[in-house]
Amino acid sequence: MLLLSMVKRDSFGVSAESSAGVAYAFFDCDAPIDVLNQDMPRIREAARTPNGLQLKLCEGVEGLVLDDELRGCLAEPANYRVMSSERIKQGYEAEARPLGSMRYAIAAEMKGVDNKRVASELGDILNVTRKYNTDQGLFRGAIAYRENGEYSLLE
């Protein structure tokens, strides 16, 4: 578990004391950002995300306002691959990359729900975006959200 530092403002400028849930997705995708932005309404429709979910898609993490604790966590290497059983049978080499090195990041916010619910909605979006990858049996990414004063990764 990663410890949470107090954050006065998140990527949307919402105070940490607000009633909005916030989560962040970090992932690799073969599609260019302009394609993802253009297709985002269809991606959201396929993922069945609520209208109140606000999204900010960025290349890398530089476009997001993140607290120092989360930025530190993004620098820690780990294996963030999700593979289909068919892909696992093909064999693979060990991999450890910092989460912050992923090609894209999405900050998400939704009023009136908790952070875990927002993380779940981001999970649905990432499940749709993996279809933009050449190798759909392999996905790299993770979703971070605050729960009980610590950052957690959505499982």
Domain locations along the chain = 20-153
CA dihedral of residues 145, 12, 62, 16 (deg, nearest 10): -50
Average pLDDT over residues 68-84: 85
- Among 149, 118, 120, 155, residue whose Cα is nearest residue 2: 149
Predicted pLDDT at 102: 93
Predicted pLDDT at 80: 84
Predicted pLDDT at 18: 62
The most distant pair of C-alpha atoms in the chain lies apart, rounded to whole Å, by: 47
pTM reported for the whole predicted model = 0.84
